[in-house]
Structure 1
């Protein structure tokens, strides 16, 4: 089963949220409907980066590592693959 590590944002270089899930589509929808306190408070609704992992442990280590990163490193990670910070929800598969 696939595991996803993802970053959502309120706007380009705005508030960020890093998370991990097995069902990325459902998790993004939960953020958008306000079911998550932090993302609702800061209006974080845009999926700007994600990566797929085949192993739970690998995804857990990656999420924890990214959460410890400095903000500018997270911004660089997002900008490298999504320079305009578009919502990439349509790219979710599997």
Structure 2
């Protein structure tokens, strides 16, 4: 899936959120899952994809990512709940 995306991942208990941007969502989430890069997501086990948005161009995706990162937690939760009310893992759905 090569397309600019903004995504939100969380940990198993849905207590920590991470917002990122990528041009290859499947590859990027896989990298989170195998903890390829040491940092926030590896340290806090934030590898469960619960939300994503696709964009026509990377500039739009980056702009959206920056906006989401300053949102309050309640707003982010509401956004996730609109698309994924059970907060289920979406990564495996992308593989089909």
Q: When the two structures are superposed, what TM-score results if normalisation uses the length of structure 1?
A: 0.90
Check whether the contact 1:11–1:85 (CA below 8 A) recurs between aligned residues: no
Query: Residue 21 in 1 paired to residue 22 in 2?
Result: yes
CA distance in structure 2 between the partners assigned to 1:21 and 1:65 by the alignment: 16
Q: Any stretches of 5+ residues in structure 2 without a counterpart?
A: none
Alignment of 1:1-94 (within 5 A): 2-36=3-37, 37-92=39-94
User: RMSD of the alignment, in Å?
Assistant: 1.5
Which runs of 4 or more aligned residues in structure 1 lie more than 4 Å from their structure 2 counterparts after TM superposition? none
Q: CA deviation at 1:42?
A: 0.6
Shift of 1:64: 0.4
Alpha-carbon deviations, 1:45-83, whole Å to 9, x = none? 110000100111111110000011111111111011111
- Structure 1 alignment gaps of length 5 or more: none
Number of residue pairs the alignment of both structures matches: 93
